[in-house]
Structure 1
Amino acid sequence: MPAESTPESESTPEPGAAGGSGTGVPSRRATGRRRKPQSKRRKGLLITAWSAAGVLVLGGTGLGYMYFDLNDNIKSVDINQALGADRPLNVDNGSQDILVLGSDTRSGSNKKLGGGADDGSARSDTAMIVHVYEGHKKASVVSIPRDTLVPRPGCTDGEGVTHDAASLAMFNSAYSTGGAACAVKTVESMTGIRMDHYVEVDFSGFQKLIDDLGGVEVTTGKDITDKESHLDLKAGTHRLTGEQSLGLVRTRHGVGDGSDLGRIQLQQAFIKALVEQVKDVGVLTSPKKLYDLADTATRTVTTDSDLASVKDLASFAGGLKGISSSKMNMVTMPVQYDPADGNRVLLQKDKAESVWDALKNDRPIPKSATKGTASGDAKGVVTS
């Protein structure tokens, strides 16, 4: 089959650009056992979520190893076997790069949550590269707009099926075409950075996890109303349920310019609020609540095979829990609206290279790399 040469799109087109019709324009893995901490807040399992928009992983200490029966909950993909040797150099400088996807299947409970046809298709509406700097005290998070037109390399999925390359395709078509392996290969081809880990968060599980945590408090600077994501919030402070949280990280209509870029800004603000809240949640007053959180978290994630056990996932998360929201620099991959199609965006290559070079060299992302790029105009809609 010859390589595709035209841009791919979802079965249902996104709204048009401003000025047109519609509303939108768009390593090193920690290992080994950790000593049992003395403080009450640190005993047992600590849930750290950088959601559908960030990383959701399960961290643990001594009590975590009581839950070996949770191992069967964790789904995994052998990325190394699927991609083989055709990958960027694995630079072991103490930093880590993790590809995080938020996904749904458009069937069952996810159909009810997100709408759309019950066709069983798998889609990834949220993608982030999380770069954890040496020392694991700070991180940069680069959101990748799903509507970015990129070259998609040929890839082999987890079932061993080979998919042809496409010279220009929507970024999220990589996942719907070839699953996790194709998504990772597309990111590595685009950035030149090897992904040390892969974490996929299921949207329906994300909703349940937020409910298990007792909700998340956010403050909105403006009213948000989006019938498609079932969200209706007045300006002010709210404790969001799981359903409302999912609606917030998926909404795009009625905020900013109505594009996916505006949705990314909402996701980033929500993730910071979630990370800040989770580190102070006292989940250990009830052993049942602790187990329910662990059960939900392990059922919610799909990981690469190196994180496919509670022990490995807990060890990995233990290396991340010291990163507070104030130490997370969140940016959007530098893009510009496609003049030929306002529903799509194009990579600003020179600025993007500045981002990738910074991450490769474990340096902060320069502000100049994202200055003057398309933003979505939704900053400040969620203020905390």
Structure 2
Amino acid sequence: MGEQSGSGGRIGGRAGRGRGTGSAGRRAGRLTVWALAGLLLAGGAGAGYVYVTLDGNIEGIDINARLGTDRPEDIDNGSLDILVLGSDSRSGSNARYGGDEGGARSDTAMVVHLHDGREKASVVSIPRDTLITRPACTDDDGGTVPAENRAMFNTAYEVGGPACAVKTVERMSGIRMDHYIEVDFSGFKKLIDELGGVRVTTSEPIRDPKSRLDLAAGTHTLDGEQSLGLVRTRKSVGDGSDLGRIQLQQAFMKAFLAQVKDVGVVSDPTRLLDIANTATQAITPDSELDSVPELMSFARGLSGLSPSDVDMVTLPVEYDPVNPNRVIPLRGAAQQVWTALGLDRPIPAAALKDSAGDKGDAGTLVQDSPPRRTQEAAP
């Protein structure tokens, strides 16, 4: 992925072209969901204690050592590719959200492609229930995890950790991932609270006991708990599958991105430091993004992006004929998506027309709302 992030190497190793910093409003625009590191940009410049504090929060993962050399070619075309995973750990503070016991899974997975020039981004969500051929991996303890056919995508993280998830995505896509960022459920919730919530408008009631969400139709400022419930809602939207949940996640992300420029953190250094402190505890990056200077360098490339510059799609899939509770990639269409990103081109609309992933109306249930202009409905 494009630009160097510091003195060390990067997962991808490409030398890309970044963008310079802009006004305070543009700096606020760096607060993106997939690169929470951008929250560090305006905080503590020249304040050594800030760097020490925030650096102490960041624990990187050396994925390169586990991936070895059997990887896609490193193509230098100025773009960046980041695998972003939402951690589905059921231990500790995440245990209250239920689900599968004893283990961690990637509840949310996105390949974020930053196009050359950093004026556009394409995001491809990979359904957790997608059946794939999982490659043999080296797990966190150095052991070998055998390859498996018709494995659910999110088992790669479960059995082999972040490196196996990266390797699986690289085998699926043929694209070398330049960076990895993992976002923890509990940290996500705290971050939304630090930001003062996210305003959304729901066109219909959304009630899901499993995700503990109960929203009437109308406008709401969602706190961290409600935001987490929204992005985890599944059974009560669309056809009840993971595809509907992905549409909700994408709609929420658009709402979040549309509002971060109005949270006022750039003009309030104390608040910014609080947010940066929470953000650095919420993420686990690869070892080449595990310091404040590296994260700041990486985030500079995101300064010009706005929601309208981000194209969010779901990997083209169809329901598995053997098990309708699972999906399988539409081979030709999925390849069109990966080929477009590999060539740093926009994703062609034709690749999505037959996909089950972008059908349904779950994404239309949520829209962003102008800050402090619309009366809120009772949560």
Secondary structure in structure 1 of the residue aligned to 2:346: coil
CA contact (8 A) 2:94 2:186 kept: yes
1:255 pairs with one of 237, 246, 252: 237
Q: Displacement of 1:108 after TM fit? A: 1.8
Q: Deviations over 1:233-280 (max 9, x none)?
A: 111111100000000000011111110000000000101111121133
Q: Residue 185 of structure 1 aligns with which residue?
A: 167
Q: CA 1:234–1:94 in 2, change beyond 3 Å: closer, same or farther?
A: same
Q: Deviations over 1:297-347 (max 9, x none)?
A: 000001111101011011101111211100100000000011211110011
Q: Deviations over 1:201-247 (max 9, x none)?
A: 00100000000000001111111000000101111111100000000
Q: Residue 60 of structure 1 aligns with which residue?
A: 41
Secondary structure in structure 2 of the residue aligned to 1:307: coil
CA contact (8 A) 1:65 1:310 kept: no
Q: Does 1:82 align with 2:82?
A: no
What is the RMSD of the two structures over their aligned residues, measured on CA atoms? 2.2
Distance between the aligned counterparts of 2:251 and 2:315, measured in 1?
16
1:320 pairs with one of 294, 297, 302: 302
Q: Displacement of 1:287 after TM fit? A: 3.4
Distance between the aligned counterparts of 1:108 and 1:328, measured in 2?
34
2:132 pairs with one of 125, 132, 150: 150
Q: Deviations over 1:103-135 (max 9, x none)?
A: 1320121112x213663x111110000000000
Q: Does 1:131 align with 2:131?
A: no
2:251 pairs with one of 269, 277, 297: 269
Q: Deviations over 1:47-70 (max 9, x none)?
A: 6132xxx44323414734532221
Q: Displacement of 1:281 after TM fit? A: 2.0
Distance between the aligned counterparts of 1:290 and 1:132, measured in 2?
25
Identity of aligned residues (%): 58
Q: Residue 23 of structure 1 aligns with which residue?
A: none
Q: CA 1:64–1:161 in 2, change beyond 3 Å: closer, same or farther?
A: farther
Q: CA 1:283–1:348 in 2, change beyond 3 Å: closer, same or farther?
A: same
Q: CA 1:219–1:135 in 2, change beyond 3 Å: closer, same or farther?
A: same
Q: Residue 2 of structure 2 aligns with which residue?
A: 28
Q: Residue 345 of structure 1 aligns with which residue?
A: 327
State TM-score, norm by structure 2.
0.88
Q: CA 1:340–1:211 in 2, change beyond 3 Å: closer, same or farther?
A: same
1:356 pairs with one of 338, 341, 347: 338
Q: CA 1:47–1:109 in 2, change beyond 3 Å: closer, same or farther?
A: farther
2:32 pairs with one of 14, 25, 49: 49
Q: Displacement of 1:42 after TM fit? A: 6.3
1:215 pairs with one of 168, 172, 197: 197
Secondary structure in structure 2 of the residue aligned to 1:237: strand
Q: Residue 366 of structure 2 aligns with which residue?
A: 382
Q: Deviations over 1:344-384 (max 9, x none)?
A: 00110000010011001000000010102103621311133
Secondary structure in structure 2 of the residue aligned to 1:257: coil
CA contact (8 A) 1:61 1:314 kept: no
Q: Does 1:91 align with 2:84?
A: no
Q: Does 1:332 align with 2:306?
A: no
1:308 pairs with one of 290, 303, 315: 290
Secondary structure in structure 2 of the residue aligned to 1:222: coil
CA contact (8 A) 1:100 1:200 kept: yes
Q: Displacement of 1:38 after TM fit? A: 8.3
CA contact (8 A) 1:163 1:178 kept: yes
Secondary structure in structure 2 of the residue aligned to 1:128: strand
Distance between the aligned counterparts of 1:369 and 1:39, measured in 2?
37
Q: Does 1:160 align with 2:134?
A: no
| Structure 2: runs of 5+ lacking an equivalent | 7-17, 369-379
CA contact (8 A) 2:20 2:301 kept: no
CA contact (8 A) 2:19 2:117 kept: no
| Structure 1: runs of 5+ lacking an equivalent | 1-26
CA contact (8 A) 2:44 2:51 kept: no
Identify the structure with the greater strand proportion.
1
CA contact (8 A) 2:29 2:306 kept: no
Distance between the aligned counterparts of 2:257 and 2:26, measured in 1?
15
Letter in 2 for 1:57: A
Q: CA 1:65–1:368 in 2, change beyond 3 Å: closer, same or farther?
A: farther
CA contact (8 A) 1:64 1:311 kept: no
Distance between the aligned counterparts of 2:317 and 2:20, measured in 1?
46
Letter in 1 for 2:159: T
Q: Deviations over 1:169-208 (max 9, x none)?
A: 0000000000000000000001000000000000100000
CA contact (8 A) 1:31 1:312 kept: yes
CA contact (8 A) 1:78 1:158 kept: no
Q: Residue 294 of structure 1 aligns with which residue?
A: 276
Q: Residue 16 of structure 1 aligns with which residue?
A: none
1:115 pairs with one of 64, 74, 98: 98
